[in-house]
Amino acid sequence: MLESLAPTPALTVRQAAGRIFAEQVRELARHEQKAKKGRDPEAVHQMRVATRRLRAALRIFRGYLAPGKRLPGELRWLARRLGAVRDHDVILTLLEERHLAALRGAERERLEDLLAGLKERRFAAQEKLERALGRGRYAKLARGLDDFAARPRFAGDEDAMAARILVDGIESWGTAIARDPGMTDPEPETDELHQLRIDVKRLRYVLDFHAATCGMAYEVERKLARAMQDCLGELHDHDLLLAWLERGKDFFAGPWPVLGDALAADRAKLFRRFLRLRRSWKARTRREPTVAPLEEPRFVNLEPAPVTLRLIAPTRKDVASSLIA
C-alpha cells in the first residue's frame, strides 16, 4: 500500500512517479495469482485498486509523463475485467449477508434464485478474468508497467517538483468537489452522488500520492475522503439495486416488498450519514482569512502533530497559505 512508503521531501517528478508506479505494479503482482484463481474476492479488489491508482497517476502527471498510446488503454481494459468480477462480489455480499436471512416464503425463494443467477454471471466474469490474466496481452502489459516504473518516460520536465504538481491536483479536485451538485444540492440526485463519488475518489488518490512522496501527511483530509468515498460507494450500490428491482428485468422480475423496503431503509441511513460527512467536509474546507498568505507551500515536518492542508481554496496562494498544524 502507499502508506508503506517512507515519505521523502522535495522529490522530482521522475522520483515521485517512479515510486508511485513501482508500488502499484508490486500490488498487481502480489494479488495476481489469487485473483486469477477466483477464490479470494479481496485479491480482485486490490488488483482493481492498483489499476485505478496507476490510471490516476497518469492523469495527475499528464503533460510530464509519456506512457505511450497503448498503456492507458490496456490499463482500462484490465480495470474492466477486474470490475466485472468485483461488482458482482459487492452486490452478492450485500444481498446474501445483509438481507437473505430477513426474508421468508416466496420472496426468499425468489431471492435465492436471484443470487444463483448472479453467481452464474460472476462465474462467467471470473472465467474471462482468468483467461485475461493468463494470456499474452496481460503479460505484455505487466512487462510494460515494470519497464515504465523502472524507467519512466517523459514528455515534460522530469526535474519539476512533484509537490507543486500534486498540490495543483489537490486544488483542482477540491475545487471540483466544492462545486459538485452532490455537495451543494439539499437533496442530490443519484447521478449527482455518483459523480461526487468519482471526484472524491480522485482527490483521495492525489492526497495519498502526496503523503507517500512529498513528506507531508494529510491524515485528517485523507480520513475524511476515505469515509466520504466509502459512504458514497455504499449509496451507489443501494441505488443500483433499487433501480434493478424497480425495472424488474431478468432475475429481478416480480414484486420485492420486503427486500425493497429494507434496501430503501438502509439507503436512507446511508444518506443521513452522507449529509453528516458533507457538513464535516464543508466545515473542514472553509477558508481561513486570518492566515497570512505564503508565496510557496512550506513543506516541513511539524512532529508530533501531523501536517494537514485544507482541501479547498480558490487560488494557489490560498492553498499554500492554509497549512495548519
pLDDT of residue 221: 86
Map 273-323 to HEC letters. HHHHHHHHHHHHCCCCCCCCCCCCCCCCCCCCCCCEECCCCCCHHHHHHCE
Instruction: Indicate left, alpha or beta for 75 from its phi (over 0: left) and psi (-120 to 50: alpha).
Output: alpha
pLDDT of residue 217: 61
Cell of 225: 475522503
Instruction: Give the Cα separation of 277 and 21 in Å (integer).
Output: 31
Q: Taking the complete model, does pTM exceed 0.85, yes or no?
A: no
Q: Which residues of the chain have pLDDT under 50?
A: 1, 3-7, 290-309, 312-325
Q: How far is residue 39 from each of residues 1, 42, 122, 126, 138, measured CA to CA in Å? A: 22, 9, 12, 10, 20
Residue pLDDT, tens place only, 155-167: 988 889 898 899 8
pLDDT of residue 140: 95
pLDDT of residue 288: 53
Residue pLDDT, tens place only, 31-40: 999 999 888 9
DSSP 185-218: -SS--HHHHHHHHHHHHHHHHHHHHHHHHSS---
Helices (H) and strands (E) in the chain, counts: 11, 2
- Is residue 82 within 8 Å of residue 53, measured between CB atoms? no
